Amino acid sequence: MYLYKSRHYVYFVRVCTPKALVQQGYPFDFKFSLKTKSRPIAIRRSAPIISQILKSLDNVDISRDSPKETKQAILSPVDSLRNSFNDSGVELHSFSSQADTKQQTVKSIKRNFAQGYRWQEEFITSKQKARITHLTVHQLNKRTLYFLDYFKNKKISITQITASDLMEFGSNLQSWDKSAKTKKDFWGAAKQFLKWLTLKQHFPRNPFEGLTVTFKSEKFASEQREKWSSKQIKNLLSHTALLISS
């Protein structure tokens, strides 16, 4: 963590990311222009930025936070700080209210995403207690996690999902190069999950209610497998003949 000058004599602040996070795909460091050629001003401007970056990095939970989310959580308040620069350093009073609001928003979003995954664990646990086969539970777990991951990538927490969002999810499944049954199974798992959440009163209304999506294969069943070649048929017949003769 230090100050350095660019070739244009403008000061920058640089904070290195902990090695453990770098190994998980996080940026090696964070660098920001301090918009000044004066070292005393650069020092004053760098202090709150360094503090903000370190605070964000200290709060990282590798099992929950992605590098992209963490980077955004750092960039947003740092940009607000840089917009609060004045002739002597940083106008912290004007920054604090903006930063607090943004931090609260980020924390709220993270809590909502985390809540969705906790509910998913409870859902899977309930299925295990119902003595459903291990394979069925495994498939439900895989499909409902995909459902949550899909909306997390869309920046939509589970409590914000609407019928329109689900239609887009259905369109996403339709685009898969997989069988109609596989697509239907993923859709059904998500539908079952949200129905469970509604029954548990986590949702006031099931957003799946009234939605119907039909999944069709692009090929007829007879076309989904390649026809055997003459050579393959001969090999099969010769093998069968050997079995009969023995």
Based on the fold, state whether residues 85 and 158 are members of the same structural domain.
no
Based on the fold, state whether residues 65 and 124 are members of the same structural domain.
no
The count of other CB atoms within 10 Å of the CB of residue 119 is: 21
> Residues 150-167: what's their mean pLDDT?
89
- Kindly state the percentage of the chain with pLDDT values over 70: 82
Give bridge partners of residue 5 from the DSSP assignment: 11
Based on the fold, state whether residues 119 and 204 are members of the same structural domain.
yes
Is the residue at 95 inside a domain? no
- In this prediction, residue 234 carries a pLDDT of 78
With bands split at pLDDT 50, 70 and 90, how would you rate the model's confidence at 245?
A: low
Is the residue at 103 inside a domain? no
Based on the fold, state whether residues 119 and 210 are members of the same structural domain.
yes
Is the residue at 145 inside a domain? yes
For residues 190 and 158, the answer to whether their CB atoms sit within 8 Å is no
C-alpha 113: how far from chain center: 9
Based on the fold, state whether residues 16 and 78 are members of the same structural domain.
yes
> Residues 48-55: what's their mean pLDDT?
88
Q: How many domains is the chain built from?
A: 2
What average pLDDT is seen over the chain?
83
Say how far apart CA 137 and CA 127 lie, in whole Å: 7
- In this prediction, residue 170 carries a pLDDT of 92
Whether residue 22 has pLDDT greater than 80 = yes
- In this prediction, residue 141 carries a pLDDT of 95
Is the residue at 109 inside a domain? no
Residue 203 backbone phi and psi in degrees, to 5: -120, 140
- In this prediction, residue 120 carries a pLDDT of 93
For residues 80 and 127, the answer to whether their CB atoms sit within 8 Å is no
Is the residue at 74 inside a domain? yes
113 compared with 71, residue with greater pLDDT = 71
Is the residue at 200 inside a domain? yes
Is the residue at 98 inside a domain? no
Q: Domain range holding 26?
A: 2-90
pTM exceeds 0.95 for this model: no
- pLDDT per residue over 168-218, tens digit each? 999 999 988 888 999 999 999 999 999 999 999 988 889 898 888 888 765
Based on the fold, state whether residues 60 and 119 are members of the same structural domain.
no
Q: DSSP 3-state assignment of 88?
A: coil
- In this prediction, residue 238 carries a pLDDT of 77
61 compared with 39, residue with greater pLDDT = 39
Triad 123, 129, 131: Cα angle to 5°: 115
Which CATH number belongs to the domain containing residue 174 in this structure? 1.10.150.130
User: How buried is 207 (Cβ within 10 angstroms: 0-12 exposed, 13-18 middle, 19+ buried)?
Assistant: buried
